[in-house]
Amino acid sequence: MSYAIFRVEPINKLSDLAQIGSHNKREKKAYKSNPDIDITKTKNNIDIIPLSEKYIKGFYNLTKEYKKEHDKRMETMRDDRKKTFKQMLDDSNNVVADELLFTSDNDFFKGMSKKEIKKWADTCMEFVYNDLGYKKEQILHATIHMDEKTPHLHCVVVPLIRKFDKRTNTEKWTISKKQYIRDKNHLSELQDKYYERLINNGFKLERGIKNSDNEHISIKEFKKITKKLDNRLEKQNYLMTRDYEELEEKLKTSKPTITGKEVKIDKDTYDTLNRFMSTSKQVIKEIPKNQALFNELNDYTHNYRQLEKEKHNVEIEVRKLEIKNEELEKENKRLYDFIINIFQTLKKFFHRLLKIGTKKDKDEVITEIKEYHKQEIYDNEDLHDIADHTSKENEINDYLYSNNYDYDDKDIEI
């Protein structure tokens, strides 16, 4: 029996989306890195949700209102905090899109016409709409690849939604994968629903192995699966060899009696033959499970290589960010020192204004330095330095005295 396979691959950056688009739309003339692709059969691929343009352009068309909202928000943002729409998406911890993959094995598709495969794909899309909850306008592209060893459906979705923002008390656009797939347990529930939908539409399949999300499998789990497979095969090999050798020995000494179309053998040989047949049936029954484990290990190995590659790229990116952070820290210190120097220079300017300025100038200086004091830019000593030996010295002393010794008239006994 074949398995119903539904997987989700996150797409975290727009550059990754572009590469996936190039693969899914077969924009290259040759695929030396993927020998499974037969470019002569690409004409047989079926677009379920077509996309005439490149993935990036299609993505920007799909998210144009989100981009407008972001660009408008950036108009009032400080220059050092401004980001382009692309920078904001790439720097976020969320995905920019999800790739949904639907497939099974060759036995399932064997003998299927193109029309029947299209029916299977339409059932997969019903799952996307009715069980996952995506709308057609959220789907960037959906296509069936018929030019590889096993037909499969790629469906790239953008989980773009309007969400209430408690901080601003308004609705805004965002991309939220968790709106559709909350966590690993929810994904397992969705895979159950996918299996049920296929069964209800007449497709004879088994539920895929639960919790076999190879993207999250650990080395410990990988070794556990490998050991399990080794033990299973070793046990089956031992039982088959044992029973076969025993049967072979029995047949050497046994003298079958042939009467017409009947062959009579002694009971001991008959029992040995039965044991061998029983073991053979059990081993044959276990073959699909063995194959499933083989496939799981094979998929994990492939995903592990991809993760190792991504990990290497992330490490490079982290190092770049560390260097950038060091540069920003140096720049921040330089700006801080520069600002401190400016305020120290201003102290001299304020002091001089209190000496030679007009009454209006002096009043404005007092108002300004009191504000700086409240903001803790200037401390008590700074204000004393500014007002020292000027006509406003007593006013500043009174201001500082009242701030330091606040009291309530009711607390004073006369």
Domain boundary among 211, 228, 262: 211
Q: Give the residue numbers spanning the domain of 341.
A: 326-411
Q: What pTM value is reported for the model?
A: 0.52
Co-location of 274 and 375 in the same domain: no
Residue scoring higher pLDDT (163 or 261): 163
DSSP E strand boundaries for 169-253: 170-175, 206-207
* Local confidence band at 407 (pLDDT 50, 70, 90 cut-offs): very low
- Per-residue pLDDT at 216: 44
Segment holding 262, helix H or strand E: strand 262-264
DSSP 274-296: HHHHHHHHHHHHHHHHHHHHHHH
Q: Residue 11 has what pLDDT? A: 92
> Lowest-pLDDT range, 160-164, 315-319, 360-364, 394-398?
315-319
- What is the Cα Rg of the chain in Å? 37
**Cα separations in angstroms, 275 against 239, 263, 278:** 10, 19, 5
**Given pLDDT bands bounded at 50, 70 and 90, which one contains residue 412?**
very low
Which of 164, 192, 211 terminates a domain? The answer is 211
Instruction: Count the domains in the chain.
Output: 3
Q: What is the tens place of the pLDDT at every residue in 121-168?
A: 999 999 999 999 999 999 999 999 999 888 999 999 999 999 888 777
Average pLDDT for residues 91-95, to the nearest whole number? 86
Residues 295 and 226 in one domain: yes
User: Given a cut of 80, is residue 348 above it in pLDDT?
Assistant: yes
Among 92-96, 146-150, 200-204, 253-257, the minimum mean pLDDT is found in: 253-257
Predicted pLDDT at 129: 96
Indicate the residue among 211, 244, 277 that finishes a domain: 211
Identify the CA nearest to 146 among candidates 26, 13, 316, 282: 26
